[in-house]
Amino acid sequence: MSGEFQLEVRGVGKSFGELDVLRDVDLAVRPGEFAAVIGPSGSGKSTLFNIVSGLDRPTSGEVRVDGQVAFMPQKDLLFPWRTVLDNTALGLEAQGVRRREARRRAAGLFEAFGLDGFQSSYPFQLSGGMRQRAALLRTVVLERPVLLLDEPFGALDSLTRTEMQLWLADVWQRYRWTVVLVTHDIREAVLLADTVHVLSPRPASVVKRIEVPLPRPRRAEAVTEPEFAAVERRVLDARNWAVR
């Protein structure tokens, strides 16, 4: 694959019987880039993630990834009978890392993820936002170069969602992972991403790639700036054009 990109999706199509879900999807993400994928409900965003993560195979086209992919689904999927620390170490243990070492590596991220002091707590004792942080920590501790985030804040209330978006922007600024975020929220996409890829309705293809030239770090007040509104409008226009 090209050394310019960490992830390349080239001409990917996916059909389930006679149902075409994806058609000729092209998507390229550079190392350290935060990319957002936005599209209407049922357009195949999650199907695309399943293919990129290796959970499914494309009917046509190819996916090339420089390194391995870590996938965080919409639900946190924390096990209620395991402590938060044990939950965050679970992925490492599944890869064969010894339990003591897995817990040590996960524990080293608790402060950065705002979870310090909750290592021995259980998921029911955490807020929705904290559960999502734990789920992301479990994903990140695998140390894979590409992170796929499938609407991670979709189930949160508006206030918590905004708080988590700003937190993710800050923690990404610190670690500079290569991230692909699926979302239906245009404001979330513009606030977090370097590029926004707009999908058409099913069968989905990328109809527009929009650069987000806003300075970082981005704060809550960024959404009130004219430059932010201008990018939002470009994404909205592209989405509206795609669904006509």
Instruction: Give residue 202's pLDDT band: very low, low, confident or very high (50, 70, 90).
Output: confident
Instruction: Give residue 244's pLDDT band: very low, low, confident or very high (50, 70, 90).
Output: low
Using CA atoms, how far residue 78 sits from 130, 141, 202, in Å, is 11, 15, 31
3-state secondary structure of 229: helix
Average pLDDT in the chain: 89
What's the pLDDT score for residue 170? 87
Could you tell me which residues come within 8 angstroms of residue 60 by beta carbon, excluding any fewer than 6 positions away?
Answer: 11, 12, 13
Q: Where are the domains of the chain?
A: 7-36+57-242
Instruction: Give residue 105's pLDDT band: very low, low, confident or very high (50, 70, 90).
Output: very high
- Quickly tell me which residue has 């402590």 as its tokens: 83
Could you tell me which residues come within 8 angstroms of residue 200 by beta carbon, excluding any fewer than 6 positions away?
Answer: 39, 43, 206, 207, 242, 243
Mean pLDDT score, 205-226: 91
Question: Considering only CA atoms, which of 52, 35, 63, 60 is closest in space to residue 209?
Answer: 35
**DSSP code at position 200:** P
Residues 166-187: tens digit of each pLDDT: 888 888 888 888 999 999 889 9
What's the pLDDT score for residue 15? 93
What's the pLDDT score for residue 243? 65
Mean pLDDT score, 2-15: 87
Using CA atoms, how far residue 82 sits from 95, 99, 165, 231, in Å, is 18, 13, 26, 43
- Output 157 or 32, whichever has higher pLDDT: 32
Instruction: Give residue 232's pLDDT band: very low, low, confident or very high (50, 70, 90).
Output: very high
Contact between residue 7 and residue 65 where contact means Cβ atoms under 8 Å apart: yes
- Output 204 or 3, whichever has higher pLDDT: 204
What's the pLDDT score for residue 73? 79
CATH of domain 7-36+57-242: 3.40.50.300
Residues 113-152: tens digit of each pLDDT: 889 999 999 999 999 889 988 998 999 898 888 999 988 8
What's the pLDDT score for residue 45? 84
How many Å apart are CA 41 and CA 242, to the nearest integer? 13
How many Å apart are CA 85 and CA 60, to the nearest integer? 40
State the sign of the Cα–Cα–Cα–Cα dihedral 90, 94, 100, 102. negative
